[in-house]
Structure 1
Amino acid sequence: MYTNHSDRSARAAPEGSVPASYVRLLFEYLARQGHDAGALLGLAVPVGATAEAAYPASQWRAMLERAADHLHDPTLGLRIGATITAAHLGPLGYVLLSSSSVPAAIERYIRYQRLVHDVSPVRCLQHNGQVVLEWDAESRSVGLLVNQCGLAAVIQFARNVTGEAIAPEAVHFVESPPDDATPYRDFFGCPVRFAQDATRIILPASLLSLPLRLADPALAAMLEQQVQAGFAALPTKDPFEQDVRQRISRHLLQGEPGLRHLAAELNTSGRTLRRLLSQHGWSYRALLDDTRKHLAEDYLRDSRLALPEVALLLGYSEQSAFNRAFLRWFNLTPRHWRLRNPDPTSHSN
């Protein structure tokens, strides 16, 4: 389920951005320290956390650096991230909070990451009994304070939704080692390494079986409609990724398309296509799987299509293979998903 998986169905401007919720975290923290955040940062207090209220990553970095200098605190990002709550993330925060399981929350976090931190795409891998959240090379450009805040927010949110004092097995930063790494080890509760090849959080696989404190799948499904609307309002989709997705979709009726076949259509080699996809945050298998997943939702909303027909449209030779994939994606059978999401053009169930 978690092999090189990241949702990059839309690509931001090259610089990336963060939502107003992160800036609000900084304002709240400065206020608690007795500082006038507006005067210090030269900004009005942010009032929302929508995509429209996003701040360029460079501006967010400058705000953190200015505040850190003023407070003489090189680990300010850790302290800001540690204050995050569901309310700061708006509808997405409550969707994650009420998800049915940790895997479901992780999948939603990855799918909608751009609403949380649209700077570099995140991938989730499962390897040697560990779950690894990994951000790509773009994370190098934002600076240590920004990465501190982002990683601290992820761990703090995981602690909030599970009610457990979750400690990763290791945390990796791409930046050079600080003079004192003690605050990092104190917060994360694990070894923290610097000058690494990627920004990572390495978690024990046992995390996946932890119950969520406020699991409410029905509420999560209802709120996710608002999240999807906000996600759809984000900037233009990545043309290269969309082209590959469309080619995959066209070939599915003839079965699962191979990497080499698509590469030939694009007049390139399989190795080059694999490299290009990796640069866009995908493996071929993950993009194929994600394309099928989104198509499955569209097809199932059409009540005229029987389940075996949906399976064939998605390139599955057997209904059972489609059922297994769908259970992995949604923790529901296609039939139960359809009952929960009836065709709006049909009066039948």
Structure 2
Amino acid sequence: MEATSARRRNSLGDISVLYVSVLMRAVAAEGKSPTPLLERFRLNDEALASPDARISIPRFMRLGQAAIELTGQPAIGLTMGTLSRPVDAGIAGLAGQCDATIGEALTTLIRYSLLTSHNSRGASHTSHSGQQAHFYSIRPYNVFNFFVVDSVLAAWTQFVRTISGQQAVLERVTIEYPSIGLDAQFEDWFGCPVYFGADSNSITLAPDILHLPSRDAQSAVHAALVRQCEDALRKIRHGWTTGDKVRDLLTPLLRGETPSLETIATRLGTAPWTLQRQLAEEQTGFRELVDETRKELAADYIRETRTSLAEIAWLLGFANPAAFHKAYKRWFDISPGEHRKQFHEEQRVKGIR
């Protein structure tokens, strides 16, 4: 599958090829040619040059793992951070770069991150007036997604370094996945304590950095770019039905449990009975949306990832793997294990995987 501009073609999420370009620069910086990787993953110059092109999140993770294997650098996410520029986040990065203060700039960057990436697991956000930036959980963790956390936190840090003109910009970093034995390397790169096995993925700005003026602050340009960002967001969300909004909220809440109608209604800022009526008008219902969302995600997890069946069951909110197995057979008339085996064999014959 080549890069595509179709939004959310893969239910697990997608990411702009801007980040693929950063990853390829990191591979080159580690002394290896990125050409074999691009050929293997069928990414050509035309795709990488398209401002709207995206690839699925699972494909990006596999590409990252292949880059790690090629370079022998497990911390390639840090290399990506070193090479990240504000423009690599698209107009969101440029809008943030022109903001007044460092805290406001980081908030702007993350507020418009949907313009370049969408993940079914959730959305990044800032807190404490921009002092803390949080990257959503992508549990369960494995060798395929460690680098994603590293690259995001490192890119945010590099963004702050670029617009502040300072290297020592952080107070602390927290990372959900457990230590992989590179603690000293991470603390040296981030320039502050890094806590692995934490409750969340985040960076915390040093207090004296938060209100520091951006070196590239330009109010008129910032205002113009923010208008572009808002317009782009409206285009992304244009035509979303109530069902679409429910699906968007359901996915990150499924982990380990089934969200209630009341929970989703509260997040949408409406009453449960109003939400039921709106869904009925669209000829669907809450239970149907939960089932359809699980079915769509299950198919992509089986095809696109190596996540274990027990972990998929948890990610989809099933009480146990047996319940997931039963639902999968109802959806596809085949067990999840057999479906995965069948799909991988088809891909092997085609020479894709």
TM range (shorter): 0.5 to 0.7
The CA deviation string for residues 19-64 of structure 1, in whole angstroms up to 9 with x for no partner, is: 11110012223234443313134232453473x3122111111111
Letter in structure 1 aligned against 2:36: A
Q: How far 1:89 moved relative to its partner?
A: 2.5
> 2:98: which partner in 1?
98
TM norm structure 1: 0.60
Query: 1:157 maps to which residue?
Result: 159
Distance 2:138 2:243 in 1: 18
2:182 and 2:103 map into 1 onto residues whose CA distance is 34
Taking structure 1 as reference, are residues 11 and 101 closer, same or farther at Cα in structure 2, changes over 3 Å only? farther
Instruction: Give, in whole Å, the separation in 1 of the partners of 2:103 and 2:68.
Output: 35
Q: Which runs of 5+ in 1 are unaligned?
A: 1-9, 244-257, 269-349
* Whole-angstrom CA distance in 2 between matches of 1:239 and 1:11: 17
Partner SS, residue 118 of structure 2: coil
| 1:74-132, Cα deviation, whole Å (9 max, x unpaired) | 101111122111232332222111112234323322320112443331222229xx932
- The CA deviation at 1:262 is 4.9
Are the counterparts in 2 of residues 49 and 88 from structure 1 also a CA contact under 8 Å? no
Residues 262 and 27 from structure 1, CA distance in 2 versus in 1: closer, same or farther, beyond 3 angstroms? closer
1:77 equivalent to 2:77? Answer yes
Distance 1:23 1:240, change over 3 A: same
Q: Which residue of the partner structure matches residue 232 of structure 1?
A: 234
Q: AA paired with 1:85?
A: R
Q: Closer, same or farther in 2 for the Cα pair 1:121/1:267, shift >3 Å?
A: closer
CA distance in 2, matches of 1:118, 1:267: 24
Aligned residues: 241
Q: What is aligned with 1:190?
A: 192
- Relative to 1, partners in 2 of residues 1:240 and 1:81: Cα closer, same or farther, differing over 3 Å? farther
Matches within 5 A, 1:43-192: 43-45=43-45, 46-48=47-49, 50=51, 52-119=52-119, 120-126=122-128, 131-138=131-138, 140=140, 143-192=145-194
Query: What residue identity is the alignment partner of 1:72?
Result: G
Residue 17 of structure 2 is aligned to residue 20 of structure 1: yes
Shift in CA distance, 23/262, structure 1 to aligned 2, threshold 3 Å: closer
**Matched AA of 1:232:** R
CA distance in 2 between partners of 1:158 and 1:139 (Å): 26
Is the Cα contact below 8 Å between 2:133 and 2:203 reproduced in 1? yes
Task: Give the 3 Å change call, closer, same or farther, for CA 197–145 of structure 1 in structure 2.
Answer: same
- Could you give the per-residue CA deviations for residues 215-259 of structure 1, whole angstroms, max 9, x where no partner exists? 10101112233333433343675847968xxxxxxxxxxxxxx99
> Hey, what's the Cα distance between the residues in 2 that align with 1:68 and 1:146?
12
Provide the rounded CA distance (Å) in 2 between the counterparts of 1:17 and 1:98: 27
Change (3 A) 1:44 1:148: same
Which amino acid in the other structure matches residue 65 of structure 1?
A: Q
CA distance in 1, matches of 2:163, 2:50: 20
Q: Identify if the C-alpha distance between structure 1 residues 161 and 240 changes in structure 2 by more than 3 Å, giving closer, same or farther.
A: farther
The amino acid that maps onto 1:26 is L
Percent pairwise identity: 22
Q: Please provide the CA RMSD for this pair.
A: 3.2
Distance 1:216 1:69, change over 3 A: same
C-alpha distance in 2, partners of 1:238/1:180? 46
Distance 1:133 1:49, change over 3 A: farther
TM-score for the superposition, normalised by structure 2: 0.60
C-alpha change, 1:62 and 1:11, in structure 2 (3 Å) is closer
1:171–1:192 CA contact under 8 A, matched in 2: yes
The C-alpha deviation readout for 1:193-228, integer Å capped at 9, x for no partner, is 112222111223432210100110101112233333
- 8 Å contact kept, 2:111–2:125: no
Name the CA shift for 1:40/1:105 in 2 (closer, same or farther; >3 Å).
Answer: same
Looking at structure 2, the residues matched to 56 and 11 of structure 1 have their Cα atoms a distance apart, in angstroms, of 8
Shift of 1:190: 1.1
